[in-house]
Structure 1
């Protein structure tokens, strides 16, 4: 096989890996469905659909046996690579130690329902929620919505974040340019709920952008 063909195959596999949702320990159903769909499109799902790997080739095997084995071996290798490429960083340390694609997928199915997974993901989500920072790469509305969604995911795993704590996490995520906003928030008697703080932050973001435009014109 030429180096060009090997390079093209690697690039196609990398592209497939980026098109599949990352397995994070909670989304096995969606992840496995997308993996099987992508492998099926490229006729690489043989190792996933066969209950067992075909026996190793010997001198007594027929041409059909050899063809089946080679097709399975290629499917198994590429399916494993695709699944490993689509692992989220927080679950990679617990990646199955097997060279069988079907077994790899079955282990992940069991893993997705384990207490170990829940604890690991809860820790990751909680860390992300408490350290997240607004960096102007997206609208403040989307930033706040993302933090609310993180809290919602934690709630589905039995870790409910009190609304007042979540509001404080959002306030802590703001950069120095929101300093006056934070001072005003801390001086008011009534605390805002999530919808109120989202609306007020959108308003403050607009004000800061206008100030910046004036300063640079």
Structure 2
């Protein structure tokens, strides 16, 4: 787990954050938010920015502002580090972490339809070739269905089961017949 180590440096375990490539936005966002939370620098994403301190500001107000500014700086740096260079230029430059995440999200919301299409093509063309276990094959298909559900494209469990059955080898014919004739 990520955390602060004695020398004052931060071990973020960042190897688990994928680079944002265009078709992995939801996974990328989840991992970025988890990492920022584990590092305890997600404050700029969770709260509204406090007002800029003035001469009459209290020490507490100044400290609150400094924590938020630090969180914002580090969050933006981490976010930018995990955006593919070919995508980085298409995202508007933002100085606030919240605005940055919103701009990135807006960039990828329109690609949801394309992602759904890609996932549907992958799901409908999957065939169990015997190179891995049937359970692993089914779990992979369920994962694709879950990704589609997260994009608000839902279909019934029965529909998914039919996709799975159709993807199995001919040797599973008796099982398919049994399933289809069972009420």
After TM superposition, the score normalised by the length of structure 2 is: 0.50
Once the two structures are TM-superposed, the CA of residue 125 in structure 1 deviates from its matched residue by: 1.3
Q: Distance in 1 between matches of 2:12 and 2:130?
A: 33
Q: Do structure 1's residue 100 and structure 2's residue 99 form an aligned pair?
A: no
- Summarize the alignment of residues 5-24 of structure 1 with structure 2, pairs less than 5 Å apart: 8-9=9-10, 11-12=11-12, 14=14, 17=17, 24=24
Once the two structures are TM-superposed, the CA of residue 122 in structure 1 deviates from its matched residue by: 0.1
Q: Distance in 1 between matches of 2:16 and 2:142?
A: 30
Aligned pair in 2 of structure 1 residues 38, 150: CA closer, same or farther (>3 Å)?
A: closer
Q: Distance in 2 between matches of 1:16 and 1:70?
A: 29
Match of 2:30 in 1: 31
Q: How many corresponding residue pairs?
A: 163
Per-residue CA shift, 1:97-118, capped at 9, x if unaligned? 5342122334466678x4x243
SS in 2 for 1:52: coil
Contact kept, 8 Å, 1:167 with 1:194, in 2: the verdict is: no
Q: Do structure 1's residue 79 and structure 2's residue 91 form an aligned pair?
A: no
Match of 1:176 in 2: none
Once the two structures are TM-superposed, the CA of residue 144 in structure 1 deviates from its matched residue by: 1.9
Q: Distance in 1 between matches of 2:56 and 2:16?
A: 34
Aligned pair in 2 of structure 1 residues 148, 46: CA closer, same or farther (>3 Å)?
A: closer
Match of 1:210 in 2: none
Match of 1:44 in 2: 41
Q: Distance in 1 between matches of 2:131 and 2:58?
A: 58
Per-residue CA shift, 1:179-198, capped at 9, x if unaligned? xx54x56xx7x8926968xx
- More helix per residue: 1
Aligned pair in 2 of structure 1 residues 127, 99: CA closer, same or farther (>3 Å)?
A: farther
Match of 1:192 in 2: 176
Specify every segment of 5 or more residues in structure 2 that has no aligned partner in the other structure, as ranges: 1-6
- Summarize the alignment of residues 136-175 of structure 1 with structure 2, pairs less than 5 Å apart: 139-151=133-145, 153-154=147-148, 156-157=152-153, 166-168=164-166, 170-171=167-168
Contact kept, 8 Å, 1:39 with 1:45, in 2: the verdict is: yes
Once the two structures are TM-superposed, the CA of residue 142 in structure 1 deviates from its matched residue by: 1.9
Look at both structures and tell me which one has the larger radius of gyration over its CA atoms: 1
After TM superposition, the score normalised by the length of structure 1 is: 0.45
